[in-house]
Structure 1
Amino acid sequence: MAIGVPAGSHLHVITPGDHFSPSTGSALPSVVHGLAAATPPGAPRSVVAVARGTYPDRYPSADVVEYDPVPQQRADRYRDAAAARLGLPRTGARRPLAAALADQARWPASVVLGHNLPQLVPLVDADRHAAVLYAHNELLRTYSPREAARVLDPAGAVVCVSGYVAERTADRLPPRLRDRVRVVHNGVDTALFRPGDADRVAGEPLRVVFVGRTVPDKGPDVLVDALLRLRRPDVVATVVGTPHFAPGAPLTRYERELRAAARPLGDAVRWLPFRPRDEVAALMRAADVVVVPSRWAEPFALTVLEGMASGAAVVAARTGGIPEAAGDAGVLVPPGSPDALAAALEGLADDRALLATTRERCLRHAQAHDWRAARRTLDVVLGDLGLTSVRPAGMPAA
């Protein structure tokens, strides 16, 4: 049974099976947590629909509506692809989403935000609720413009985490729907990610930290190659992450090759598996530089702002939405270029005044782009589109 859903609340629906839990720290629920935690005083408390049986520890920022999960079948993807070509609904994707909305007739009028869930939009009862697609990635690459129009026509808004994602989303929509595309940049938790108290000691090495999935797209090998080019004892690095969220998982072939390549660096590189978010925050507080050397076009990259909020200088790849996250505060380098990354690190190691001013600039940028700023932008966007107040079921439109 649904627990108290306040009228007019933001009701977030995340991917069935994903976890609204600090135990994983996965990006999408972290965004939902950030937005919910930044609910303005006096506004209704946010609610998140979560499949029953996921992690029992939940973020404290929102109430939870549990629903009985409906597993997707492996063949659903192929059936959905065939249905889309024939102009039919993607029933395989909709089946578990319908379960998430099973109680929507009992929810008070709400703004229902489907995170990375375009197929949720047509399932929302438009007479009672307002549907919003919240796009954290490029979601419509497998959609024809006709299908995208049919599925998203009921959406009151399509919110994208960066201009990069918004541009690619709008390209897949007919002109009449492009006006509903808006950008709400992600924020950062400045209470969790904050500078350390200890001052730098003269002569200490430059402490570099990478946090992320240890997969080629995230580019930890670019960092290792940069360090091999530098071969400087006064530059040390910590690589934090695993391919997924299992710290005890055996090393993948890529990880074994990465560690073998770094062997000549000896103790200058430290390897840590996946860590809970509070431990990640502590590691970032101890860093001089946080690197985000992604090869792929990151839609936004939360790590950029998290590193900045921790008081570190951020060196990141100029790709996807990363430049939007970094603003004019971070140091941007071409993606996949160990030479450029090495040059950026060398500049910061050689010029400690430059390091200090870059850290200060990054910190100011992050503090101006916390989750309160993101939530204010979201509320303005929804207000501009007339979605902040939803008429109760049965009430005629004005």
Structure 2
Amino acid sequence: MHARILTILPPRERYEAGHAGAISLLVSRLASAGDHVAGNGAVGVPLSGGQYRPLVLPRVPLPHAWRLRLACVAMMRSYQPTLTEIHNRPDLARFLARFGPVRLVLHNDPCGMRGARSVRQREALARHVLVCGVSAWVIQRFREGCGPIRTEVQPNCLDLSVLPVSRDREKTVLFAGRVVADKGVDAFVRAWGHIRASHPEWRAVIMGADRFGPDSPETPYLKQLRPLAAAAGVMMTGYRPHDAVLDAMAEAAIVVVPSRWQEPFGMTALEAMGCGAAVVASPVGALSDLVGDAALLAAPDDPGALEQALSRLMDDDGLRVRLGAKGRERATLFDVGAARFRVEELRQAAIVFAGRLPRS
């Protein structure tokens, strides 16, 4: 019998076409037709994977976190899932494990998440739910300081069959993603200002906003960045739907991922490799393991490093072609077919895991 799966999204994730973040897109990619996906509020056109169900928070005089918990319990009792999957909410996963088998999927550094900040919390969590992370780096952070516990890696994935067909590459260096300091966008602008005069036939583009969706706010960071980008000759498109971002990656000769923060996976780099672009990435978090030898690495705040890597790629047609081919080959390791098989393994393991351990 096929397991009944209920996936509960983080509160800020929207399961809506044109508004979805990375977690929603991944859930949709992996969801079977009969899976239920629950999120915070109604949506317009839901993503295609599974069946979306809005959580109904009870109108009771309790903090939001408790109202969310009660809404999730009500959804579990209504749907009667074989397994409930929680993304990026350790505290919620630990609570819901009282009501049925739970699998926790971590997409970011867990040590800053509620319910996983201390070693004691993480060890207790791992006794009651199967903890999975999207990279070995995420799992290493979860296990830091802990005794023997069970954890598993569930890498993110791409459906290579639906990526846009690679076309003649434009002399464009593209940044795509959230326009925030942690993503190193200002470092890209700085680097481009230093090297643009030596490469007049090239252009630089920033595609994204503070958040995913057309209603993203104009933040102080964006206000400060815009005149710097204009002075450096960098075009800023604002938010674009995910399909438009992939189209841009299939056209751009180079995609830059100059993150400062410890990237827990590096989905932008994977998508760029899948689209055949040559990639320049930061050697932080899980990025270097993800790209392997299929990209150039450059720390965004090391003097001259990003400038040198970009110039090297712009000056060497053969290197761009070789890295684009290597990236496409490496992306096949993360294709959705293998990922679905891995997820099914982990779901069965989580059900068995929950059956063997007492709940408290």
> Cα offset for 1:373?
2.2
Aligned counterparts of 2:160 and 2:89: Cα–Cα separation in 1: 28
Which residue identity is paired with 2:93? V
Aligned counterparts of 2:168 and 2:225: Cα–Cα separation in 1: 32
**SS of 1:153 mapped into structure 2:** helix
Q: Tell me, yes or no, if structure 1 residue 310 matches structure 2 residue 275.
A: yes
CA 1:337–1:33 in structure 2 vs 1: closer, same or farther (change >3 Å)?
farther
TM-score norm. by structure 1 comes to 0.79
> Cα offset for 1:381?
3.5
What residue is the counterpart of 1:86 in the other structure? Answer: none
Which residue identity is paired with 2:51? D
CA 1:192–1:281 in structure 2 vs 1: closer, same or farther (change >3 Å)?
farther
Counterpart among 105, 109, 115 of residue 138 in structure 1? 109
Per-residue CA distance 1:261-319 (angstroms, 9 max, x = gap): 233444xx211010111111111111111111011111112111111111211111110
Per-residue CA distance 1:42-67 (angstroms, 9 max, x = gap): xx7322112333x2211111112333
Per-residue CA distance 1:219-258 (angstroms, 9 max, x = gap): 1111111112212213311101111235465643322332
Counterpart among 331, 334, 351 of residue 387 in structure 1? 351
Aligned counterparts of 1:244 and 1:65: Cα–Cα separation in 2: 23
> Cα offset for 1:28?
1.4
Q: Tell me, yes or no, if structure 1 residue 238 matches structure 2 residue 222.
A: no
Which residue identity is paired with 2:102? A
What residue is the counterpart of 2:68 in the other structure? Answer: 96
Which residue identity is paired with 2:313? L
Q: Tell me, yes or no, if structure 1 residue 120 matches structure 2 residue 99.
A: no
Q: Contact 1:225–1:338 at 8 Å: present in 2 too?
A: no
Which residue identity is paired with 1:300? F
Q: Tell me, yes or no, if structure 1 residue 199 matches structure 2 residue 171.
A: no
TM-score norm. by structure 2 comes to 0.87
What residue is the counterpart of 2:358 in the other structure? Answer: none
What residue is the counterpart of 1:69 in the other structure? Answer: 57
**SS of 1:122 mapped into structure 2:** helix
Per-residue CA distance 1:322-381 (angstroms, 9 max, x = gap): 123223312222243362111111111111011111111111111331222222222334
Q: Tell me, yes or no, if structure 1 residue 111 matches structure 2 residue 111.
A: no
CA 1:349–1:255 in structure 2 vs 1: closer, same or farther (change >3 Å)?
same
Per-residue CA distance 1:66-110 (angstroms, 9 max, x = gap): 33135999x95xxxxxxxxxxxxxxx6343123122132343441
Which residue identity is paired with 1:278? D
Please list, as runs of the form range in 1=range in 2, the aligned pairs for 1:1-398 lying within 5 A after superposition.
8-36=3-31, 39=32, 45-53=34-42, 55-69=43-57, 93-124=65-96, 129-141=100-112, 143-155=117-129, 157-171=130-144, 173=146, 175-176=147-148, 178=149, 180-196=150-166, 198-200=167-169, 206-231=171-196, 232-247=199-214, 251-266=218-233, 269-337=234-302, 339-383=304-348, 385=349, 387=351
Per-residue CA distance 1:107-144 (angstroms, 9 max, x = gap): 344121110111223333657x3211111112243633
What residue is the counterpart of 1:87 in the other structure? Answer: none
Which residue identity is paired with 1:387? I
Aligned counterparts of 1:330 and 1:368: Cα–Cα separation in 2: 15
Q: Contact 2:213–2:241 at 8 Å: present in 1 too?
A: no
**SS of 1:23 mapped into structure 2:** coil
Size of the aligned set, in residue pairs, is 350
CA 1:27–1:71 in structure 2 vs 1: closer, same or farther (change >3 Å)?
farther
What residue is the counterpart of 1:84 in the other structure? Answer: none
Aligned counterparts of 1:222 and 1:211: Cα–Cα separation in 2: 14
Which residue identity is paired with 1:317? S
**SS of 2:306 mapped into structure 1:** helix
Q: Contact 1:15–1:115 at 8 Å: present in 2 too?
A: yes
Higher Cα Rg: structure 1 or 2? 1
CA 1:259–1:390 in structure 2 vs 1: closer, same or farther (change >3 Å)?
closer
Measured on the aligned residues, the alpha-carbon RMSD in Å equals 2.8
What residue is the counterpart of 1:83 in the other structure? Answer: none
> Cα offset for 1:152?
4.3
Gaps of 5+ in 2: 356-360
CA 1:190–1:307 in structure 2 vs 1: closer, same or farther (change >3 Å)?
same
**SS of 1:387 mapped into structure 2:** helix
Aligned counterparts of 1:172 and 1:94: Cα–Cα separation in 2: 29
- Greater shift after overlay, 276-285 or 115-124? 115-124
Which residue identity is paired with 2:106? A
Structure with greater helix share of residues: 2
CA 1:305–1:388 in structure 2 vs 1: closer, same or farther (change >3 Å)?
farther
> Cα offset for 1:388?
7.0
**SS of 2:11 mapped into structure 1:** coil
Q: Contact 1:226–1:338 at 8 Å: present in 2 too?
A: no
